[in-house]
Amino acid sequence: MMNCREIAQQVYGLAENPNDPLAPLVKEALEVIDHCLDTHRQDGVAISFNGGKDCTVLLHLYAGALARRLGPNEEMKPIHAIYIPVPSPFEVLEEFIEESRKVYNLDLFSCRPEATQVESVITPNVAEGVSYDYVSRPHAVGKSKGGEGMRQALQRYKDRFPHITAILIGTRRTDPHGATLSHRNMTDPGWPEFERVNPVINWDYSHVWTFLRQLKVPYCSLYDQGYTSLGSTYNTFPNPALLIQPSSTASPLLSPGTALTQFLSSTHTEPQSPEEDALLSPSTALSSFMTSIHTHPNGSSASVAAKLNGTNNAANSSATPTPKIDTKLPPRYLPAYELKDGSLERSGRGLVPALAPA
């Protein structure tokens, strides 16, 4: 179990360090938490914890804020927490949540709604026949199908714990629906009544990783495998911006645009007649190529690889052979903290159109 008094010294010490660029944001977040506790008291506050990087930062800050209020001989009470799972969560993520429950002494209530979708925002599929690289691909837009599931989960929590009046949430300004939020907002009409408290709303992607690594805060191991934003296994993949190119002589990162160019140059160097084979659209080609070099949860990449290697493609008989792809070695990714452009944080969500749910 964490020594929360040491955490308090750590985070409040960082907040007051005039030489640390992270200090103002840490100080701001702790002040928001302290004001929330002044208003609602610990017994009226819960933290929303799903194992992601942002709420891991928030949990560490919150534990420090609670410990700082303890008397000399007073022991930490369990920390009220709510977990609202997405459909088909990653097993390793749920293991991290359980470990965090023990380490931080969480009174964690897992609130699985009846609705099948609870993610706050969906990521749209790339339309067939339209070419996007993963940098300029469309972001999540429109109304979420998961709103009702989230509302049901919060209602169950309110019914079970009516004394909880505020929930700490790790939402940041760059998150979907985060742009218009302030540090403290009430839930919308028609939703269970809680004050939503967002202490890290003004943090960006790099601030999160600086905090976690500088303070050596444990985080989910998926982030060391190239994942930068975690959701359901249905729509969450390693971030292609962190893909390490197998060739030691080339650039360490294989951009999707480069992958598409290489693949299309090998299959479209000579005009094909309609009788020979159907032409591949850029998006289909890119989807097939990236699927073949990504770990495929359903194990169907072998058939795609076979096509790309020419075993099931009429173009194999053309003058320009399709390049062989080594499917024996799994793709490797840099860890999440190596991502330099925070705007690409969600580029691994809904990444492979052929696999993403409709």
The whole-number average pLDDT for the span 169-185 is: 88
Q: Are 246 and 329 in contact (CB under 8 A)?
A: yes
What integer pLDDT is reported at residue 330 of this predicted model?
Answer: 84
SS3 of 209, please?
A: helix
Between 113 and 276, the more confident residue is: 113
* Whether the predicted pLDDT of 188 surpasses 70: yes
Task: Please state the pTM of the whole predicted model.
Answer: 0.70
Could you report the per-residue pLDDT of 200-212, keeping only the tens digit for each? 999 999 999 999 9
Between 91 and 116, the more confident residue is: 91
Q: Give how far the C-alpha of residue 97 lies from the chain's centroid of Cα atoms, to the nearest Å.
A: 14
- Closest to 221 in 3D by CA, of 319, 307, 335: 335
- Closest to 134 in 3D by CA, of 246, 225, 223, 229: 229
The whole-number average pLDDT for the span 121-128 is: 39
What integer pLDDT is reported at residue 182 of this predicted model?
Answer: 87
Give the architecture-level CATH label for domain 4-115+147-218.
3-Layer(aba) Sandwich (3.40)
**CA 163, 168, 173, 174: dihedral to nearest 10 degrees?**
-110
| DSSP for 61-99, written as a single string | HHHHHHHHT--TTPPPPPEEEEE-PPSS--HHHHHHHHH
Could you report the per-residue pLDDT of 310-320, keeping only the tens digit for each? 444 444 445 55
Q: Are 171 and 198 in contact (CB under 8 A)?
A: yes
* Range of lowest pLDDT (93-97, 149-153, 155-159, 195-199): 149-153
What integer pLDDT is reported at residue 323 of this predicted model?
Answer: 52
* Whether the predicted pLDDT of 64 surpasses 70: yes
* Whether the predicted pLDDT of 258 surpasses 70: no
- Domain chopping of the chain, boundaries: 4-115+147-218, 220-244+333-352
* Whether the predicted pLDDT of 248 surpasses 70: no
The whole-number average pLDDT for the span 286-291 is: 48
Distance CA 27, CA 12 (A): 7
Question: Rounded mean pLDDT of the chain?
Answer: 77
Query: Residue 318 half-sphere exposure, CB side, CA atoms within 13 Å?
Result: 20
Residue whose tokens read 């993520």: 93
Top mean pLDDT of 214-218, 292-296, 327-331 is at 214-218
What integer pLDDT is reported at residue 57 of this predicted model?
Answer: 98
Question: What sign results for the dihedral spanned by CA atoms 252, 255, 260, 261?
Answer: negative
